[in-house]
Structure 1
């Protein structure tokens, strides 16, 4: 067959099909050639014939589904694509088939099904921008849909105010976040995680009086859930701010006993050791942390400080270079967040 000349090859496969309509290879190859020539109307019957005779031809069925989509046969396209998308081995075909199926599900407002396909695609290509954008769009739509449902079903609930606080947090309206979380607590103080959320918002405030209220909310969070390692770790941070290093150590170790390797508690305890001139004790905490997450800006900074105090200048420079590198990346992301009117999370070290 003239495989380097698609038009001639198509004619040859067509001749074989005319003589033997049940020749699966010829039907499939002819359908594939016509598909990639964008002759969907001619490709569709050949692809269908091949699939009818051999349903396990997943790639051919995927091409059939995409062919049907281009011909406006959306119900057929959906049936064929959803049958094979998670079985496709060839990355490019899986991606194209998956994106087509996502569009079909999205158009039908079947967002959970679209989200499931996104996860299939992300497993094979976690950094592909087309997949990541599809994920962003679908999860944003799901979030908006859930918020609308909540506003209709329970407009005066604590959960509604909690959700409103999350939306306000996205645009950096800290005072609005605090106000809505206080309303949520007034309605239902037993909402899971509500005291921690309020504490985080208070701690992010520029008002020193409000910041001072955060400690009590963290304590309420721990009282409500004694295994809340994040709240316990934050109490350690507050103890450090008061130069209560012994108290901070107790909090951080308690958090690490609950969740070994917790990044916040690990960073906090390492910071205490460095401040107490016990930098050697900080290394077993920080070195695994940067190995597990090389993008952790604060971990690189503190590890550099520990190396410097231990008179290891080459190691200190390496970590400071890494700190500067990832700090620059985070600052660029911060500019993107600002353009999108999203709050930029702060991870600057205490210098």
Structure 2
């Protein structure tokens, strides 16, 4: 993980001005030549100058530290580490040299040696940019030591410190993916014939959109534990998600109804039943189930939109309005909610609000299309509930 020159220079090593009292005239010339080369980004020349300086003044800790920094900037970690070690032996209190030595050890896969200084540096960094560098190397070190739980904790902390940093987010995703894999591997090792393994297999197949395999696994779970919480819901979602399903499968409906019988507080099951009824034109039944879903879970965005759509179809736009406002409050970026709001305002005769919501809908729809063009597939996670979509493409 070679970090950019600008970030590295945040790790200031106290050798920026080697005075006459520290070095002889030839050494001062090497120092000046090296600094000039660094300023011009001629790292090979800078390395040569500081190599000469360390030969001329072998006990000058700052010169060894600066040479180590130059090697580090070149990605020459095996050469940098001995220079930092020498600098610290000559001057143990030399600022940040221990952190850079630890970073080099991490890059060289010498994780046990890197860990103490990286942990200390991450807790007490000189600045936020330096903490970013140390944190990334600390994650790498924890992974190298097979301490995924600590890597995950660091990743969470890093994502809070740098919430919009693409590299931070990428590494966090990788770490949690590895952690999930290790947990599932452990599960299959300690309980290979358990219902948990069957359910995990079904969920893995569902995530990969292998719905027939997921359905088979979920049915095996039900055979072992017919009243297992959540399993009928997952089977219903897999049945609905199969290619060619119209969105109101009788088989899926039975599974959602069974889930709702087992747990009448399950808003997701009530919602799925309501959505199937809505799509099959049974609006009164749909409205009852959607109302139950949002009563149990008021911030259930999809449930609020589903109920509003039923009320719009029943020519009750004023009642639909409050549910759509709640949905938009939960997620201001939901394009379907804004489109339904446009329909409500048109029905209520509010032309200005109708135009505003329609414009908002178009903006969100265009942004979504652009985002979809950049992502070949959706996220590898279980689908929570059936998302509200438009019945047809508005003109």
TM-score in terms of structure 2 length:
0.71
Larger Rg: 2
In 2, are the aligned partners of 1:47 and 1:63 still within 8 Å (CA)?
no
Look up the match of 1:35: 69
Please point out which of 220, 224, 242 is paired with 1:183: 220
1:324 CA displacement: 1.8
Look up the match of 1:168: 205
Would you say 1:216 and 2:266 are equivalent positions? no
Residues 183 and 49 of structure 1, relative CA distance in 2, 3 Å threshold: farther
Distance 1:116 1:48 in 2: 33
1:263 CA displacement: 1.0
Please point out which of 16, 20, 45 is paired with 1:10: 16
Q: More displaced, 221-230 or 66-75?
A: 66-75
Distance 1:14 1:348 in 2: 75
Deviations, residues 310-332 of structure 1 (Å, cap 9, x unaligned): 34242233233134224314532
Look up the match of 1:146: 183
Please point out which of 69, 72, 79 is paired with 2:106: 69
Structure 2 portions without partners, runs of 5+:
1-8, 24-59, 73-79
Look up the match of 1:244: 282
In 1, are the aligned partners of 2:84 and 2:100 still within 8 Å (CA)?
no
- Aligned length in residues: 333
1:120 CA displacement: 0.8
Look up the match of 2:365: 324
In 1, are the aligned partners of 2:299 and 2:330 still within 8 Å (CA)?
no
Look up the match of 1:23: none
Residue correspondence of structure 1 range 1-351 to structure 2 within 5 A: 9-12=15-18, 31=65, 35=69, 38=72, 39-44=80-85, 46=87, 62-70=99-107, 73-88=110-125, 90-205=127-242, 206-207=244-245, 211-311=249-349, 312=351, 313-329=354-370, 331-332=372-373, 335-337=376-378, 348-351=389-392
Deviations, residues 260-281 of structure 1 (Å, cap 9, x unaligned): 2111211111112221222233
In 1, are the aligned partners of 2:248 and 2:279 still within 8 Å (CA)?
no
In 2, are the aligned partners of 1:301 and 1:323 still within 8 Å (CA)?
no
Distance 1:230 1:108 in 2: 41
Decide which structure has greater helix share.
Answer: 1
1:252 CA displacement: 2.0
How large is the Cα RMSD of the aligned pairs? 3.7
In 2, are the aligned partners of 1:98 and 1:121 still within 8 Å (CA)?
yes
Structure 1 portions without partners, runs of 5+:
18-25
In 1, are the aligned partners of 2:304 and 2:324 still within 8 Å (CA)?
yes
